[in-house]
Each structure stands twice: as structure tokens, then as C-alpha cells.
Amino acid sequence: DQLQFARFIPRVKALGGTVVLGCNSGLVSLFKENFPDADEVVVVGEPFADVDLQLPLMSVPHVLRLRNALDAKLVPYVRAHGDAASPLRHALPERDHRGSRALRVGLAWAGQPKHLNDRNRSLTLETLRPLLNVPGVEWFSLQKGETAEAQLEPFNNISEQQAQPTVTALGPLFSDFNDTAHAVARLDVVISVDTSVAHLAGAMGVPVLMLIPFVPDWRWQVNRGDSPWYPTARLFRQTEPGGWIAVVEGVAGHLRELGAISARAHSATRAA
């Protein structure tokens, strides 16, 4: 919610007054750099200076009387700031256009377990196994936590004799969302369930393929494969409850198309 609706902070500031923006601790650094119209960025739940009015971020469009999708298209409005940390630069170096043009794809397959709808929106890495068979792709995990590491272990053990692991784990290198943003900026595509990583990629204008459950969250609407919130997002929806297999197959097919387009463009560039 915070990543999605922070785009409206400049409009709030334009109304006059001092703006204090509250957010999760992991977003403070990112928001301070990307929303200079916020006079102060604080952690939600921690004490801050007295204010005259309080407005939930999700109520901003109502107060501003925004009525259509065009009002939301301010993308991109977030970027990583500063230099990426050394471990991240080593794990995911900047692209050398003279070298391989394999697609760099980031994966986020689960959201916050305490979310009320997490059992419907999240899945396991094993469910995404068909994606790993798509040729010409370098895979990177954007998941954090011990559960993610446990799910990655069997995939990487399979490829011990290969030059690189099947899925490079970036999550352990993230201290906040600015680190995540540095990683996303170095990827070609992000594949994600309905979680904060998808919002971050969308806010940065990075192509994101989203896996949407049969009963979607309100913001993804119904019967459409795009999103008025994020022009670079493409939505792949379940056609029945729990039906992830068809969704993953659809994402895999689209990824093959992107890989073919990228390979042709790279060949043309090298020939030139």
C-alpha cells in the first residue's frame, strides 16, 4: 500500500503545509530520497512531532478527488539511490553489453505470512519449477528469510557441478528496500506474486509479471491483463481457485517470447 500510494505525496504537498510521511522501517531510506516533498519521513508506530491532520495514504486519491486511471500513471516514481553494496554488485554485476544477453529474471513467490490472504496469494518455489526450464534465463531470488533459503537449497544442490547455481539468492543481501531496488534495477524482468516486490518493480517501471489468485485484491480489478497503476505490469490470473499450474505455464510462455526478442536485439546490436 505504501509503495503504491506514495506516488501522490507531491500532490499532497502542493496543497500546502508540512508533510510528515509515515512508512515501514524498510522503506524510510528509499522514501526520503524519492519523495523530497515529504518534509519528514518517519517509521509508522514510532513517536513523531505533533500534527494537525492525519490522512491514511490509501485515502489520498479520495481527498484529491482522483477519478480515473490516468491520475495514477506517474510511473516511474521510485529509483534506487547511492551505490549498491559490494556483495550485491558481486552477485548481480551491471550488464556488460558485449557479453551474454541471457534474461535476468528476479523471483518473489511469497508475501508476508501474516497477511490475511497469504494462503491464496503465495506459493512455493517448487510450484515455479517449470519456469526454470525456460532457456536463456539467469534466475535470481528476491525472497528473504529462512523459509526462502530452505526452498532454494534443493534447486542449487541440483546444479552443484554447473558454473552458476540455478537460482542466485539475493534476499540475504538486502537490509532494506533500497537494496532491493538496486537489485531490481539490474534485472530485465521480475516475476512476483501480489507482494511488495511487485509494487516496487512497478513503481520503478521495470517489467513485472504478476501471478494473481482467482479472487484478486481490489487493486488488480478483474478481466484484464494489465494494470492502470503500473504500466509495465502484466497480470496472469488463476481461472479457478488454487489453479497455479496454468498461470505458471502462461508466464513461462511469455518469458520465452521475451527471451527470443532479447536475443534478436542483442544479435542485431553485436552485428552493428
Domain boundaries, the chain: 2-72, 86-271
Comparing 30 with 267, which gets the higher pLDDT? 30
Query: Reduced to 3 states, what is the DSSP secondary structure of residue 103?
Result: strand
pLDDT band at 97 (very low <50, low <70, confident <90, very high): low
Whether 187 shows a pLDDT value over 90: the answer reads yes
User: What was the pLDDT predicted at 50?
Assistant: 85
Secondary structure E strands in 72-215:
103-108, 137-141, 167-169, 189-193, 208-212
Whether 153 shows a pLDDT value over 50: the answer reads yes
Comparing 38 with 94, which gets the higher pLDDT? 38
Give residue 137's identity as a one-letter amino acid code.
V
Question: Would you state the torsion angle of the CA atoms of residues 194, 190, 256, 163, taken in this order, to the nearest 10 degrees?
Answer: -130
Query: Reduced to 3 states, what is the DSSP secondary structure of residue 49?
Result: coil
- State how far Cα 244 lies from the chain centre: 19
Q: How far is CA 3 from CA 9, 128, 147, 204, 255, in A?
A: 11, 26, 24, 10, 26
User: What was the pLDDT predicted at 44?
Assistant: 92
Whether 160 shows a pLDDT value over 60: the answer reads no
Whether 87 shows a pLDDT value over 70: the answer reads yes
Cell numbers of 2, please? 505504501
Mean pLDDT calculated for residue range 210-217: 97
Mean pLDDT calculated for residue range 48-61: 90
User: What was the pLDDT predicted at 206?
Assistant: 98
Cell numbers of 76, please? 516511474
Give residue 53's identity as a one-letter amino acid code.
L
Mean pLDDT calculated for residue range 224-251: 96
C-alpha neighbours within 13 Å on the C-beta side of residue 172: 10
pLDDT band at 60 (very low <50, low <70, confident <90, very high): very high
Lowest mean pLDDT among 88-92, 157-161, 209-213, 251-255: 157-161
User: What was the pLDDT predicted at 118?
Assistant: 81
C-alpha neighbours within 13 Å on the C-beta side of residue 117: 14
Instruction: Determine the Cα–Cα distance for residues 216 and 204; give it in Å rounded to an integer.
Output: 22
Most confident of 18-22, 117-121, 131-135: 18-22
User: What was the pLDDT predicted at 49?
Assistant: 76
- How much is the mean pLDDT over the chain? 89
In this structure, whether the domain defined by 86-271 belongs to CATH 3.40.50.2000 is answered with: yes
Whether 72 shows a pLDDT value over 70: the answer reads no
Q: How far is CA 87 from CA 2, 72, 123, 148, in A?
A: 28, 35, 28, 19
Model confidence, pTM? 0.91
Residue of 104, 101, 135 lying closest to 267 (CA atoms)? 101
Whether 161 shows a pLDDT value over 70: the answer reads no
Instruction: Determine the Cα–Cα distance for residues 143 and 152; give it in Å rounded to an integer.
Output: 10
